[in-house]
Structure 1
Amino acid sequence: MTRYRNLALFLALAAIWGSAFVAISAGLRHFPPVLFAALRYDIAGILMLAYAIYAVDHWRPRGRAEWATVAAGAILLIAAYHAFLFVGQQNTTAAAAAILVSLSPVLTTGFARVLMPSDALSFVGVVGVLVGLVGVAVISQPDPSNLLSTDFVAKVLVFLAAASFALGAVLTRRIDASLPIETMEAWSMLGGALIMHAISVALGEPLTPADWVHPEAIGALAYLAIVASAVGFLLYFDLLERLGAVEINMVSYVAPIFTAVIGWLYLGEVVDATTLVGFGLIVVGFLLVKRRAIREEFAQHGIGRSRSGE
Structure 2
Amino acid sequence: MNQYRNLGLFVTLATLWGGAFVAISAGLSYFPPLLFAAFRYDIAGVVMLGYAAVAVEPWRPRDQAEWGQVAVGAVLLIAAYHAFLFVGQQRTPAATAAILVSLSPVLSTGFARLLVPTDALSPAGVVGVLVGLAGVAVIVQPDPSNLLAADAVSKGLVFCAAAAFALGSVLTRRLETALPIETMEAWSMVGGAVVLHLVSLAIGEPLEPATWIHPEAIGALAALALGASAVGFLIYFDLLERLGAVEINMVSYVAPIVTAIVGWLYLDEAIETVTLVGFGLIAVGFVLVKRRAIRRELPWRL
Range of TM-score over shorter length: over 0.9
Q: Supply the RMSD in Å over aligned alpha carbons.
A: 0.8
Identity %: 74
TM-score norm. by structure 1 comes to: 0.96
The answer on whether the counterparts of 2:138 and 2:278 sit within 8 Å (CA) in structure 1 is yes
Give the match for residue 90 of structure 1: 90
- Residues 1:280 and 2:284 are matched in the alignment: no
The answer on whether the counterparts of 2:24 and 2:86 sit within 8 Å (CA) in structure 1 is yes
Provide the aligned length of Structure 1 versus Structure 2.
301
Give the match for residue 49 of structure 2: 49
Give the match for residue 80 of structure 2: 80
Instruction: Give the residue type in structure 2 aligned to 1:272.
Output: E
CA distance in structure 2 between the partners assigned to 1:260 and 1:60 by the alignment: 38
SS state of the match for residue 270, structure 2? coil
Alignment of 1:119-268 (within 5 A): 119-268=119-268
CA distance in structure 1 between the partners assigned to 2:175 and 2:235 by the alignment: 25
Unpaired runs of 5+ residues, structure 1, are: 302-310
Alignment of 1:5-16 (within 5 A): 5-16=5-16
CA distance in structure 1 between the partners assigned to 2:113 and 2:223 by the alignment: 36
Query: C-alpha offsets along residues 70-116 of structure 1, whole Å, 9 cap, x if unaligned?
Result: 00000000000000000000001000000000000000000001101
Give the match for residue 115 of structure 1: 115
Query: C-alpha offsets along residues 195-232 of structure 1, whole Å, 9 cap, x if unaligned?
Result: 00011011110000000010000000011000100000
Instruction: Give the residue type in structure 1 aligned to 2:255.
Output: A
Instruction: Give the residue type in structure 1 aligned to 2:250.
Output: M
SS state of the match for residue 206, structure 1? coil
Give the match for residue 307 of structure 1: none
The answer on whether the counterparts of 2:18 and 2:256 sit within 8 Å (CA) in structure 1 is yes
Give the match for residue 305 of structure 1: none
CA distance in structure 2 between the partners assigned to 1:228 and 1:206 by the alignment: 26
CA distance in structure 2 between the partners assigned to 1:245 and 1:28 by the alignment: 32
SS state of the match for residue 178, structure 2? coil
The answer on whether the counterparts of 2:27 and 2:220 sit within 8 Å (CA) in structure 1 is yes
Distance 1:206 1:115, change over 3 A: same
Instruction: Give 1:300 shift.
Output: 8.9
SS state of the match for residue 90, structure 1? coil
Instruction: Give the residue type in structure 1 aligned to 2:129.
Output: V
The answer on whether the counterparts of 2:47 and 2:230 sit within 8 Å (CA) in structure 1 is yes
CA distance in structure 2 between the partners assigned to 1:252 and 1:161 by the alignment: 14
Instruction: Give 1:299 shift.
Output: 5.8
CA distance in structure 2 between the partners assigned to 1:74 and 1:287 by the alignment: 29
Give the match for residue 308 of structure 1: none
Query: C-alpha offsets along residues 47-68 of structure 1, whole Å, 9 cap, x if unaligned?
Result: 0000000101200101111001
- Residues 1:291 and 2:291 are matched in the alignment: yes
Instruction: Give the residue type in structure 2 aligned to 1:188.
Output: S
CA distance in structure 1 between the partners assigned to 2:32 and 2:92 by the alignment: 16
TM-score norm. by structure 2 comes to: 0.99
CA distance in structure 1 between the partners assigned to 2:133 and 2:156 by the alignment: 12
SS state of the match for residue 60, structure 2? coil
Instruction: Give the residue type in structure 2 aligned to 1:182.
Output: E
